[in-house]
Structure 1
Amino acid sequence: MTKLRAPPISLLERYHGDGFQPLYTATVRVTGGEAEHARASGVARSDDGNLHVDLRLPAALGGDGGGTNPEQLFAAGYAACFHGALSLLATRADIPIPGASVAVTVAFGRDPDDGLFMVTADVTIDLPGVERDIAEELVRNTERVCPYAKMARQGIASVVALAD
């Protein structure tokens, strides 16, 4: 079995180019399932087959639960990305962060501007054994590097198009 390892800190080297340079692309297709509604009974599958998740409406939204939901998936992605960026920056700065954890709380709710829907995300970082001032600087730097944090702060480039 191959030993798992962190990505190289060379990922932190700055890119200089005219446009976005993709390093990895993932595609996940969601279908509606039994209720023909992805949030209620959908299935999410990645193009490489590594992700296959049953989606279910949480009880708080009137569903039966019994599966994951988009908010959990977003929280997991955000937390993993932030933790990864945090680890890279800590390694580069030679700051050990054993036991570090990142928790992301995503809330689905009503948007006061249009009366429809929005999500919020709160990120909590635990860095046991790291001095507070060092931890705060590391977190602020991570917030500038993590693509999910940048997306939450600045928005995301997105194209919505009907399939041919």
Structure 2
Amino acid sequence: MKKRLAPPPITLLDKYVGDDFHPLYSTTVRVSGGEAAHGRASGIARSDDGNLELALRLPSALGGPGGGTNPEQLFAAGFAACFHGALNLLATRAGIALEDATVDAAVTFGRDPVDGLYTLMAEIRIDLPRVPRATAEELIRNTERICPYAKMARQGIVCVVALVR
């Protein structure tokens, strides 16, 4: 019999006290260029543990062939999954049942009026059926405070870009 998947423990909500960033998990995804020698247009994305391997394709809306995923979809998936998870942890701690809760993350790639280049916009839409509106709004506000993707979107992220060779 297959073991049933369980949600993470609510102890993940325990506050950390320390002076430095405390890493809990790290992963690496490598993108190679593929047929067009261009990661976004024809790349292959592979995770270091082998659990992720997919073809990247430029969406038809940007002049590509479509037929694969793209960075915006991957970011939206991560954002929605993280927000949904944080939402569920907070609801569990508060004794609120979230039956059929959904989180949609819409990520839009577009032109940046500040520098004329590119930027992303994200919109998160949450559906919490059978949860009173005031309770749902408070739960969502609190989730925004703890979801790392929401914090990154609001505050930025430490990012190091380094040449390896």
TM-score above 0.5, yes or no? yes
Query: What is the identity percentage for the equivalent residue pairs of Structure 1 and Structure 2?
Result: 68
1:122 alignment partner, SS class? strand
Give 1:153's aligned residue: 154
Give 2:138's aligned residue: 137
- The 5 A counterparts of 1:84-163 are 84-163=85-164
**Runs of 5+ in structure 2 lacking a partner?**
none
Please say if 1:13 is aligned against 2:20: no
Please say if 1:37 is aligned against 2:38: yes
TM-superposed deviation, 1:122? 0.3
Distance in 1 (alpha carbons) for counterparts of 2:21 and 2:102: 30
RMSD: 0.5
Aligned length: 164
Give 1:56's aligned residue: 57
Given residue 57 of structure 1, which amino acid in structure 2 is its aligned partner? L
**Runs of 5+ in structure 1 lacking a partner?**
none
Distance in 2 (alpha carbons) for counterparts of 1:159 and 1:90: 34
Given residue 72 of structure 2, which amino acid in structure 1 is its aligned partner? E
Moved runs in structure 1, 4+ residues, more than 2 A? Answer: none
Given residue 58 of structure 1, which amino acid in structure 2 is its aligned partner? P
Given residue 34 of structure 1, which amino acid in structure 2 is its aligned partner? E
**Residue by residue, what CA displacement relative to the aligned partner does 1:118-150 show, whole Å, maximum 9, x if unpaired?**
000000000000000000000000000100000
TM-superposed deviation, 1:18? 1.0
Distance in 1 (alpha carbons) for counterparts of 2:113 and 2:31: 28
TM-score (norm 2): 0.98
Given residue 42 of structure 2, which amino acid in structure 1 is its aligned partner? S
